[in-house]
Structure 1
Amino acid sequence: MGTGTPARRRPLRADARRNRERLLAEAAAAFAEHGMDFSLEEIARRAGVANGTLYGHFPTRRALHEALLGDRMRALAGTGEELLTDASPFDGLTAWIREALVHTTLYRGLGTALMQAVEDETSELHAACQAVLAAGDALVVRAREAGEVRPDLTARDVFALVNAAAWASEQSSELQGERLLTFTLDGFRTPQTLP
């Protein structure tokens, strides 16, 4: 009966929608407090639902990550696209990097999960990570072409360094992560654009 059109999902019943929202809220709180590897069964318990309900909505940990993070990552990619019109390519790149750091520090261990998802094509977050990398790449290329950053800088370098600053924020303090980010941004500049 293949008509070539994908099957549409039926809308969730009100109770199923509430369960899903509770699960996402509890996952967000648990990941912020304890990290991205927090027990899924404990998230279900905190949400007041059975494990089967959790796995019915999110069959894998990665599916839960995608539901929790996918929209935010797509928004970060969209912010990158908007910043391509910034008068200063370096300032646009800097603003995007700072947004990326805020995003990456939402949940403990998120940086590691994102770095894995970038490489893992089977990950539910892979497409969102690729969109973020593409936005970062466009900003880096624009700043490189303007001579405002080093000619060898890549979006993957930026992504890795943002994750390193996020890790430092988790391990010591937000101030440490911000300091590392400032040093990193200065290191991106070409000699003629250093302040």
Structure 2
Amino acid sequence: MRADARKNYSHILDVAREVVAEHGIDASMRDIARRADVGLATLLRHFPTREALFEALLCTNLDALTQKADKLETSNAPGEALVSWFRAWVAFAQTHQGVVSLMAAAHTDTNSALYASCAAIHSASARLLLRAQAERAARADMNGDDLFGLMSALGWLVDLPSFAPRADHLVHIITSAILTNPSSNHPTVAY
């Protein structure tokens, strides 16, 4: 990519981040182009679809979230790691309004621009769950799909203004249902 095209690309992403922070996933591609002071054709040349734009916006944060799972997998007790991961996911969902719906839709669509990122999050979740199950810290009757579904449901729920203030409490309820001995795992995790 030429230097001027790379600069344009970065500028568009910076503006898109601002617009999406204000309007969530319903942000207008035309509004992003206008505020970035580029033509819609230029925006679409860099990001041919809304999903491609969101993939670019989310890639860095999803990679960081996946890396957090890797660190939790080796540094925390299995139950603590699972609760910390759940909390990190909810915090991510709250800072990226509307992203949970996109990710839930892309989760099984191999043609989706977000599929690889969703697969990485799903895989990290499943690994943390399996580790907790191996240590008997998490219930054995669930799998990675169940955990991803619960994470997605809670992420969607706390995206609603009426539930956002209750995010910590809802995380506690759900993780208490997942962990086999929640009272011994929750106090060691910072809320």
What's the TM-score, normalizing by structure 1? 0.86
* Paired residue total: 182
The corresponding residue for 1:3 is none
Corresponding residue for 1:7?
none
Letter in 1 for 2:119: Q
C-alpha offsets along residues 131-169 of structure 1, whole Å, 9 cap, x if unaligned? Answer: 111111111000011111110122222222222222232
Aligned to 1:91: 80
Contact 1:105 1:111 in 2 (8 A): no
Equivalent residue, structure 2, for 1:102: 91
Q: Return the index of the structure with the highest Cα Rg.
A: 1
Alignment of 1:144-155 (within 5 A): 144-155=133-144
Partner of 2:116: 127
Which stretches in structure 2 are left out of the alignment for 5+ residues? 184-191
Against the structure 1 CA distance between its residues 20 and 87, is the aligned structure 2 distance closer, same or farther, given a 3 Å change threshold?
Answer: closer
1:75 corresponds to 2:64: yes
Note the aligned Cα RMSD (angstroms).
1.5
Alpha-carbon distance, 1:39 to partner: 1.2
TM-score, length basis structure 2? 0.88
Measured in 2, the distance between the counterparts of 1:49 and 1:108 equals 25
Which residue of 175, 179, 183 maps to 2:165? 175
- 1:27 corresponds in structure 2 to 16
Structure 1 residues without counterparts, runs of 5 or longer:
1-10
How far does residue 87 in structure 1 lie from its aligned partner after superposition?
4.1
Tell me what 2:182 maps to. Answer: 194
More deviation, 153-162/97-106: 153-162
Conserved? CA contact 2:93–2:159, under 8 Å: no
Deviation >6 Å, runs of 4+ = none
Percent of residue pairs identical: 33
Quote the residue 1:114 is aligned against: 103
